[in-house]
Amino acid sequence: MLRFAILLFSLLGPGIRGSTAQDAALQDFINKLDGSIILQGQPQFNKAKSVMSSQYNNAVPLMVVYCTSEEDVKHTMLYAKQINVTFCVRAGGHDMTGSSICDSGIVLDVTRLNQIIVAQDKSWAYIQVCVSLGRV
Ligand SMILES: Cc1cc2nc3c(=O)[nH]c(=O)nc-3n(C[C@H](O)[C@H](O)[C@H](O)COP(=O)(O)OP(=O)(O)OC[C@H]3O[C@@H](n4cnc5c(N)ncnc54)[C@H](O)[C@@H]3O)c2cc1C
């Protein structure tokens, strides 16, 4: 139990440290994720939140969630709703208006959703949202 508490404490960034209920909601969210998460305050956070246009790098989201499944996208959106924060979707992060980063919200990163499946008879293809045009 103590090890669990220490692990959770080290995972929580300053932006979402709070009540037991908030901590439990975060832990529940982490448990559901296939992908990974980087929280405000963790060493990799500044790199994880950065976007192409450096003028938006002063924005400080609560966390960056690297979704690896459609279920992850759903869980992330539901979690944002549960804790009442905004979220933004980020693919390549090249947008010049700053819309792929959000202050005090959740960056929902889709770069790992990059699978292509083609039917054997080539009658259909399943292409996930972050497949670049070159690969298609
Ligand atoms: C140096 C530079 C050169 C450029 N040159 C060109 C050019 O020649 N021609 C051109 O057309 N554009 C150009 N752009 C613009 C760029 O192509 C667009 O900003 C493009 O949207 C970037 O794609 P991205 O995957 O990086 O988007 P992101 O910045 O990740 O996202 C862009 C927007 O789409 C949303 N979004 C991303 N993925 C999803 C998703 N799966 N579902 C819902 N919403 C989503 C984001 O929330 C955001 O609002 C250039 C940009 C830069 C920085």
Is there an atom of ligand 1 within 6 Å of 100 CB?
yes
Q: What is the pLDDT of residue 28?
A: 96
Is there an atom of ligand 1 within 6 Å of 91 CB?
yes
Q: Which of 100, 107, 128, 136 to mutate to test the pocket of ligand 1 (most atoms within 8 A of CB)?
A: 100
Long-range contacts formed by 91-96: CB under 8 A, 24+ apart: 91/129, 91/130, 92/52, 92/130, 93/50, 93/51, 93/52, 94/51, 94/52, 94/53, 95/51, 95/52, 95/53, 96/52, 96/53
Q: What is the pLDDT of residue 7?
A: 45
Q: What is the pLDDT of residue 26?
A: 95
Two tokens, residue 70: 């459609």
How is 112-127 classified by DSSP, letter by letter? T---EEE-TTSS-EEE
Q: What is the pLDDT of residue 20?
A: 86
Is there an atom of ligand 1 within 6 Å of 106 CB?
no
Ordered by start, the domain boundaries in the chain are: 2-135
Please state, in angstroms and rounded to a whole number, the distance separating the CA atoms of residues 34 and 90. 18
Q: Splitting the chain (136 residues) into consecutive groups of 10 residues, what average pLDDT does each group show?
A: 44 62 93 97 96 93 97 98 97 95 97 97 96 92
**Which candidate, 106, 98, 102, places its Cα nearest to that of 67?**
106
- Measured in angstroms, how far is the CA atom of residue 53 from the centroid of ligand 1? 11
Q: Which pTM value belongs to this model?
A: 0.86
Q: What is the pLDDT of residue 9?
A: 45
**Domain formed by 2-135, architecture:** 2-Layer Sandwich (3.30)
